[in-house]
Amino acid sequence: MSGPPRASRTAVLVCQGRAAADALIAPGRFADPTALTLLSPDEREAVQWVRDGVPPRTWRQRIDYETVRAAAELMAPRTIAIDDAIRAHPAPQLVILGAGLDGRAWRMPELAGVAVFEVDQPATQQDKRERAAALSGTPPRFVPVDFGRDRLAAALAAHGHRADLATTWVWEGVVPYLTRAEVAATVAELAACSAPGSRLVVNFQSPAASTALGRVVARLLTASTGRSSVWANEPWRSTWTSAAMAALLTRHGWTVTRDEDLLDTARALALPVRRGTSLRHSRVTVADRP
């Protein structure tokens, strides 16, 4: 018999990064008080090491420390860029695709009165709901979707999403794990249920040999501790240039209004940059539907 459902390991790492960065990286611009609550006690341990700024002594713990510290430095600018895009374009509906352990429905006051939907795999979503039970505030509408079988538009409609009202779509940290065909199919489906005035905020990875090499090194370092890498069962399947992503969005009726890499975002926020390559090849594109 299989055990209880668990969030994906990358979803946990993203949440750990946000928890470690909460009010420490870009104070006044970045805060996520939901992140720590969404983590289990053992997942919080490395977060506390990073927040304390004291690297642990054992090799295994040091790898965890460095992994979470790197995640924190990535998540602060990424989250700020996406949150700013949401705030700048109010809509009556917000849909978070592949939500993982996202806390926006609880932590963003700008979403009061907005119908917030979270879409994810059923097992991952069940785990999220159990973790989120301790959070106060209005939860999102959870939309379980088996992406290999279910139609996204139909699943959303069944949970109250209205295709005749403007929607802000947040597609964060998901695109690299999809094939190019899956990305194109998803963009087409989003376009089909996006009324005029809708906005798509998409985060993706641009091609870079150095980034791929970095992931290999990270997997080897984790293997040296006797464990499998956080990405072992969740490999990247596609990268996109800005031009290719813009062309795809344009074909489906979207107009790109902003595109930047996270290194530019971090520098504009005067954030410390230790891993410029990772930030440079992670992008956030904002596209609107006239």
pLDDT along the chain (290 residues), means of 10: 62 97 95 98 97 94 94 97 98 97 97 97 93 95 87 95 98 95 95 98 88 53 60 80 98 98 96 88 97
User: Which amino acid, 130?
Assistant: E
Which residues face 96 on adjacent strands? Answer: 118, 170
Neighbours of 173 (CB within 10 A): 24
Q: What pLDDT was estimated at residue 231?
A: 53
User: Which amino acid, 106?
Assistant: W
Cα separation values, 281 from 36, 129, 228, Å: 27, 32, 25
Query: Mapping DSSP to helix (H, G, I), strand (E, B) and coil, where does residue 252 land?
Result: coil
Q: Name the strand (E) or helix (H) holding 138.
A: none
Q: What pLDDT was estimated at residue 38?
A: 98
Q: What pLDDT was estimated at residue 219?
A: 57
- Tokens read off for 98: 């592949």
pTM of the model: 0.91
Phi, psi (rounded to 5 degrees) for 232: -60, -40
Angstrom distance (rounded) from CA 278 to CA 24: 20
User: Which amino acid, 41?
Assistant: P
Q: In the chain, which ranges are E strands?
A: 93-97, 115-120, 141-144, 167-171, 199-205, 255-261, 282-288
Place of tokens 């596609």: 238
Phi, psi (rounded to 5 degrees) for 110: -65, -15
Query: Mapping DSSP to helix (H, G, I), strand (E, B) and coil, where does residue 116 land?
Result: strand
Angstrom distance (rounded) from CA 92 to CA 86: 11
- Tokens read off for 44: 């919080």
Phi, psi (rounded to 5 degrees) for 180: -60, -35
Which residues face 142 on adjacent strands? Answer: 118
Neighbours of 109 (CB within 10 A): 7
